[in-house]
A and B are shown apart, each in its own frame.
Chain A
Amino acid sequence: MRKMIGALVILSLVSGMTVSAATTDVTNNKLLVIYSNNVNGETEPCG
């Protein structure tokens, strides 16, 4: 990844393009929320 960005930066210097590396990570906005509630009511079946 670092090599890729490096290559792009060089390319941009050569061609005068603008490069943004900040948006390459598509998972940037994603998050996982794992949750529970009311665990108090739970019991293993007694028998």
Chain B
Amino acid sequence: LGGLSKKAYRFNKVLQAKDLPFLILDGGALLFKNTFITASQEVQAKITADGIVKAYNLIGYDAVGVSSRDLAGGIDFLLELASRSDFAWLSANIIDSNSNKPIFKPAVSMNIGARKAAVLGLTDTLHARSESLGPGFKLKSWQQTLPKVIEEMRSTHDFMILLTSVSEKTCREIARAHPEINLIIQAGGTSSNQSPLLLTDNTLLTRTGKQGKYIGIMEVDWQKGGKWDSGQEEKLIASRNEIDRLNWQITRHRNRLESKELHQKLENRRLEVNTEVKRLEQELRDRLTADVRPSSYKSQFIAMDISLPDQPTVLEIVNETNRLVNEAGENTASSEAVAGITGPIGKGFVGWTKCQKCHNKEASAWLNTRHATAFLTLIEKNQQFNLQCVPCHVTGIDNYDPAGALTIPRELQQVGCEACHGPGQNHLSNPTNSTRPVTEQICLSCHTEEQDDNFDFISDAPKSH
């Protein structure tokens, strides 16, 4: 959520710098971290989702894809959010069982300059299933739904974009079946930026990675009816260079008896590359005589660096959302305290002061680390009741189901010994019972790429005491 005000700032800068007709789109997976939310997370997760929609309204998004992750709060919740969205939520394959019609818009038509673009949405069927949508809704496959939408739009639009959270494999299948789609923006469980990848001559696939910390900018020079330039010139240069290298190697190995096998391999490779060169040369000759020149694009990813300025009005929304999230957590904490919920106490956690009695040297060293004041940083930011933050700033709380995190007792209000070594009760009652080994996986559950992309287990783990 924090990066939204920086995104807004960058979007404005890009639009000022390039005086071109534009579209602002999101592939999907914008509201929730997972495909489900637990009961303890629900209130705060929904406040956050609401804040994201408000920020998207201000930024001026045109359309977003509905991903299975956007359905984690329930379809009714998403419909309610959609009613307050100034942008379109797109999904061709979430269907009303009674009317057999799509619940969200399957596509929108947008005028961009002199051109007309169709933007379509398709929800992944990997995580979202018909039964998880609740009664009255069905999730259909792309084969059952997409062809009809494409057929309706194809003749009246110059450019077609698909926003989807289906896998890359499925994107390839769709691209093969529907050359009408020019660009696919993919969301979902991906971890890295995907530079535009030519799936077919007609269809490019792109996505930003690193959990939303990048924005993608694509400047398209679109020739109606044309195919994408697949970089034949560059391929031709590379192939000719390879032939030069092969010629040199072949001459070198020709007269050496012991290199006979290698020599043959090089000859075979030269034959292959020669064929490729001839094919590329022919393609380029064909292009010169064709009526339509290929479409081209320039693509870049911009990282949302912490040093970027914030767009003030979006920052206000981010701050207000964080405040509401913390307030909701505080209210829950009060009612949980009344109900006698006491965090992970009773689950074998004893607190660092018990460990200190025998492991004083380690405990003293730990007191000088940031682990020892991890919870304090949340109090300073007024986020000590934010369940998205608390699990990694305390001891004994599960990231995925942070039940009890809001009533964490004082002795566990930091990343203590047991956060890494596991519950200490057994070891305390009998020191021959060893604690669990500290593995990289344990550290990575909090030192994620998103929160700490410089973490290195070998060098950093020993620094914890």
A13-47 contact mask (Cβ, 8 Å, vs B): 1 or 0: 00000000000010111111111111111111111
Q: Which of B148-156, B168-176, B216-224, B229-237 contacts A (4 or more CB under 8 A)?
A: B216-224
Residues of B within 8 A of A40 (CB): 29-33, 69-70, 211-212
Pick from A28, A32, A37 the residue with the most CB of B within 10 Å: A37
B212 touches A37 (CB 8 A): yes
Residues of A within 8 A of B318 (CB): 44
Of chain B, the residue at the smallest CB distance from A34 is: B24
One of A29, A31, A42, A46 near B211 (C-beta < 8 A): A42
| Interface check B396, CB cutoff 8 A | no
- Size class of the B contact interface (CB-based, 8 Å): 35 or more
B29 touches A38 (CB 8 A): yes
Task: Tell me what chain A mostly uses at the interface: helix, strand, loop, or mixed.
Answer: mixed
Residues of B within 8 A of A35 (CB): 24-27, 185, 206, 208, 215-216, 218
A29 touches B223 (CB 8 A): yes
Given A39-B212, A45-B2, A33 and B29 contact (CB-CB distance below 8 Å): no
B114 touches A46 (CB 8 A): no
Residues of B within 8 A of A36 (CB): 7, 25-27, 30, 208, 212, 214-216
For residue A27, give the distance in angstroms from its CB to the closest CB of chain B.
6
CA distance A44 to B383 in the complex (A): 11
Residues of B within 8 A of A31 (CB): 20-23, 112-113, 115, 117, 159, 219-220, 222
- Size class of the A contact interface (CB-based, 8 Å): 20 to 34
A42 touches B3 (CB 8 A): yes
B30 touches A39 (CB 8 A): yes
For residue B373, give the distance in angstroms from its CB to the closest CB of chain A.
9
Given A29-B223, A31-B21, A35-B27, A44 and B187 contact (CB-CB distance below 8 Å): no
Given A31-B117, A32-B21, A47-B378, A42 and B183 contact (CB-CB distance below 8 Å): no
- Residues on B lying within 8 angstroms of A by beta carbon are 1-4, 7, 11, 14-15, 18-33, 52, 65, 69-70, 112-115, 117, 159, 161, 183, 185-188, 190, 206-209, 211-224, 304, 306, 318, 322, 374, 377-378, 380-381, 383, 386, 388-389, 392-393, 450-451
- Residues on A lying within 8 angstroms of B by beta carbon are 25, 27-47
Beyond A31-B112, A31-B159, A39-B29, 19 extra complex contacts between A and B, CB < 8 Å: A25-B114, A28-B114, A30-B221, A31-B20, A31-B22, A31-B23, A34-B215, A35-B24, A36-B7, A37-B28, A39-B212, A40-B30, A41-B211, A42-B1, A42-B2, A42-B213, A45-B451, A46-B377, A47-B389
